[in-house]
Amino acid sequence: MTVKRRKVTEPVRIAVFVSGGGTNLQALIDAQKDGILRTGKISLVLSSKRDAYALTRANDNDIPTVVVPRKECATQAEFEEGIYTALREYHIELIVLAGFLSILSEDFVQKWPRRIINVHPSLIPSFCGKGYYGLRVHEEALKYGVKVTGATVHFVNEVTDGGEIILQKSVAIHKNDTPESLQQRVMRQAEWVLLPRAAEQVSLEILYNRGKTTPNKQ
């Protein structure tokens, strides 16, 4: 492990991990422009896919990007070594998973306690865990017949969707909802609202504790 101390006045450096379109990344970028995300700064967008549109969003906003293609890495260790290299280079303190579809190992996660956050499109502990992502979450919510769903931002640990909850927001389910319409409403009303707030909240925690533990880890 290497540790880089940062001045208390410097923003917390955030890496946003992506694999696709980057709508949650856009919410974070917009929040930064609007002053909602102010203690933290998006300092890197890291993608597991070369063709992720999220990279275009980052480039359009002058945010550095790194691609570590999971399919081109022979092993999980090789994949994560590429990630570690980028995190060290950009002195990252907080990781935000925003539609990142690649698995991070237990070893990786344990080296970043309370420094990785994720947004999940349900009210955890409902419709979460292994295999619950994307439209499947909303399909299951509609199939089960719940009247309220929502989104959750949580810390990431070695259990899928099992980390401590940071923020939640409920969203009503409408009678004629489809998985697609529900997905869109959960994103607009909950995910895009919660994720920037949670990133700011955790950045404040990191800033408060800066000087005690500031990880740039391997």
- Looking at residue 10, what DSSP letter applies? S
Catalytic-labelled residue, pool 91, 120, 138, 174: 120
Out of 3.40.50.170, 3.40.50.300, 3.40.309.10, 3.30.450.20, select the CATH number for domain 12-212: 3.40.50.170
Closest CA to 171 of 124, 125, 123, 135: 123
Band of pLDDT at residue 43, cut at 50, 70 and 90: very high
In whole angstroms, give the CA distance from residue 99 to residue 80: 17
Over the stretch 167-183, which tens digit does the pLDDT of each residue have? Answer: 999 999 999 999 999 99
* Residue partners of 137: CB distance under 8 A and separation at least 6: 120, 121, 122, 127, 128
Average pLDDT over residues 90-108: 95
Mean pLDDT of 32-38: 97
Average pLDDT over the chain, rounded to whole?
92
Supply angle C-alpha 190, 194, 176, rounded to 5: 5
107 backbone φψ class: left, alpha, beta (φ>0; ψ -120 to 50): alpha
Q: How far is the CA of 67 from the CAs of 28, 55, 70, 85, 176, in angstroms?
A: 19, 9, 9, 11, 40
pTM value is 0.90
Establish whether 154 is a catalytic residue.
no
**DSSP of 149-185:** EEEEEEE--SSTT-SPEEEEEEEEPPTT--HHHHHHH
- The pLDDT assigned to 218 comes to 44
Pairing between strand 116-120 and 94-97?
parallel
Closest CA to 194 of 23, 28, 18: 28
**What pLDDT score was predicted for residue 130?**
87
* 90 within 8 A of 84, measured Cβ to Cβ: no
Amino acid identity for residue 95 in this structure: I
Residues 67-97: tens digit of each pLDDT:
999 999 999 999 999 999 999 999 999 999 9
C-alpha distances in Å from residue 8, one per residue of 42, 130, 192, 209: 17, 38, 28, 9
Confidence of residue 1 (pLDDT cuts 50, 70, 90): very low
pLDDT tens for residues 135-154?
A: 999 999 999 999 999 999 99
Q: How many CB atoms lie within 10 A of CB 19?
A: 19
